[in-house]
Amino acid sequence: MSLLSKEPVKRVKDFLNKFNSDLSITTLDTSAKTALEAASSLGCNVGAIVKSLLFRTDNKFLLCLVAGDKRASLIKIKKILNTKDASMASAEEVKSVTGFTIGGVAPIGHLNKLDVFIDNSLEKFEDLYAAAGHPNCVFKISFKNLQKITNGSIKEIIE
């Protein structure tokens, strides 16, 4: 079975096609489960890899898109949201909320509507690479189009 025919990858592909039919999913022979592995597989700067991180705040979830060489700041996220209660979502929550397993979480095509924060450090890269529903699947996109396709808010959310 081709990775492109797996349901989570098809969900991302459909979302991409509705946004811009020129965007496509690349299947890698090597894993892109971590940002470092993805950068190594693609031959790009690790900072150009988009990490899709799910946070739980009160009774809501928030997706944060962060450069592969950076760490999300829980303190900054709490301050932006004006909340004291925020933490990383568990693997089970990631799967149930997004429909993706950790390592393949795409910034789009989630099972549930999510608010999205995009860290402004991603803006310095001409091309960004994000997971496409499976640890061996990615898609290339510009910062501007990433913001448009996710309807994300650009924030400073890294440590």
pLDDT at 31: 82
| Residue 1 confidence (pLDDT) | 63
Domain count, the chain: 1
Mean pLDDT of 127-155: 97
Amino acid 33: pLDDT: 85
**DSSP line for the chain:** --GGGSHHHHHHHHHHHHH-TT--EEE-SS--SSHHHHHHHHTS-GGGEEEEEEEEETTEEEEEEEETT--B-HHHHHHHHT-S-EEEPPHHHHHHHHS--TT---SS--SS--EEEEEGGGGG-SSEEEE-SSTTEEEEE-HHHHHHHHTPEEE--B-
* Residue 12 in this model has a pLDDT that exceeds 90: yes
CATH code: domain of residue 114: 3.90.960.10
**In which domain, by residue range, is 52 found?**
3-155
